[in-house]
Amino acid sequence: MIVVTGGAGFIGSNFVLDWCAGTDEPVVNLDKLTYAGNLANLAALEGDARHEFVRGDIGDFELVRTLLRTHRPRAVLNFAAESHVDRSIHGPGDFIQTNIVGTFQLLEAVREYWGMLEGEDKAAFRFLHVSTDEVYGSLEADDPAFRETDRYAPNSPYSASKAASDHLVRAYCHTYGLPVLTTNCSNNYGPYHFPEKLIPLCIHNALAGKPLPIYGDGRQVRDWLYVKDHCAAIRRVLEAGRVGEVYNVGGWNEKANLDVVHTLCAILDALRPRADGRSYREQIAFVTDRPGHDRRYAIDAGKLERELGWKPAETFETGIEKTVRWYLDHQDWVQGVTSGAYRDWTLRQYGA
């Protein structure tokens, strides 16, 4: 069996759902259930004996130690993280606590557990750490895409905290021999994405007749990765990745934020037209840019394709249409997560 941390969040819950759809191997899911962790994401697994949910913090050494000794997993996959740049600017303390201190405590518990294993169990064990392309910093328009050998240059409290966690994971491999794997992914999108990030926020606001807030001039470029492609990449890295290696996971889809929103508007115009017949593009509103906003990210996922044979199954065009359709078909889920606390956050961040 495996242990997944952060498995009620966006990427983690998609991974758990896909894992249970593709294998009978049990998974223990540890999640603190902060604002972005949602058990409704996992409703399809209710009553499924292969999935055990435990509410708890990766920073709780004794809890993690007990889980590992009780369930004796062959792998631990760490998705748990505070991940929103804007929130890290307003309140960096939570990011330091979860992403750095929490990862340290998790590594300590895993190191102790791994040290108790013997023979084939010890040789086969893996700790897979899920991270972000933001640790590499920002690119100029003509710079090559991020490679695994690029130096780290994080520019926000969020990316700095993730960079620190990556360094801890690497150090535990080098110093203690812990068999680790690290993945650094580009911007994910897809089902169960909490509606504070660009794509789900704009879908939600468009349908509600609210402005679609775009930072600055909207020309910031990101590489977009459909979340289920990301999950497939993680499964492949867990299966065949080389211990101690880093694998960049990207969608080969560089898009400016404004172009992404234009695409969303076009799909919504076709699938859920406004009552007045006008385009959702009329709701676009440019807002003051984020402090220190990185201009461009891009991922070179060539190593993952060369070594492990993975490449994304979705283009941006196919993935984004699936995403919009999912949100249109799951408005009950959207209503469930857009609580008063969420509305207060978006008002503070983007204004009226």
CATH number of the domain to which 84 belongs: 3.40.50.720
Residue 331 lies in a domain: no
Helix, strand, coil shares, percent, the chain, to 5? 50, 15, 35
Specify the pLDDT at position 340.
Answer: 61
Residues 146 and 250: their CA atoms lie apart, in Å, by 10
Band of pLDDT at residue 351, cut at 50, 70 and 90: low
The residue whose two tokens read 């495996």 is: 2
Residue 269 lies in a domain: no
Is the CA virtual torsion 55, 59, 60, 65 positive or negative?
Answer: positive
**What's the rounded mean pLDDT across residues 129-157?**
97
Q: Which range of residues forms the domain containing residue 24?
A: 2-189+226-251+296-313
Residue 203 lies in a domain: no
Average pLDDT, the chain: 95
Residue 145 lies in a domain: yes
Residue 45 lies in a domain: yes
The model's pTM: 0.94
Specify the pLDDT at position 86.
Answer: 81
Count how many domains the chain has: 1
> 64-111, pLDDT tens digit by residue?
999 999 999 999 999 999 887 888 888 999 999 999 999 999 999 999
Residue 60 lies in a domain: yes
> 53-63, pLDDT tens digit by residue?
999 999 999 99
Structure tokens at 30: 């540890």
**What's the rounded mean pLDDT across residues 38-59?**
95
| Residues annotated as part of the active site | 133-134, 158
Residue 220 lies in a domain: no
**What's the rounded mean pLDDT across residues 275-303?**
96
Residues 61 and 111: their CA atoms lie apart, in Å, by 11
| pLDDT score of 200 more than 80 | yes
**What's the rounded mean pLDDT across residues 248-252?**
97
Residues 159 and 119: their CA atoms lie apart, in Å, by 37
Task: DSSP for 117-150, please give it.
Answer: --HHHHHH-EEEEEEEGGGG----TTSPPB-TTS
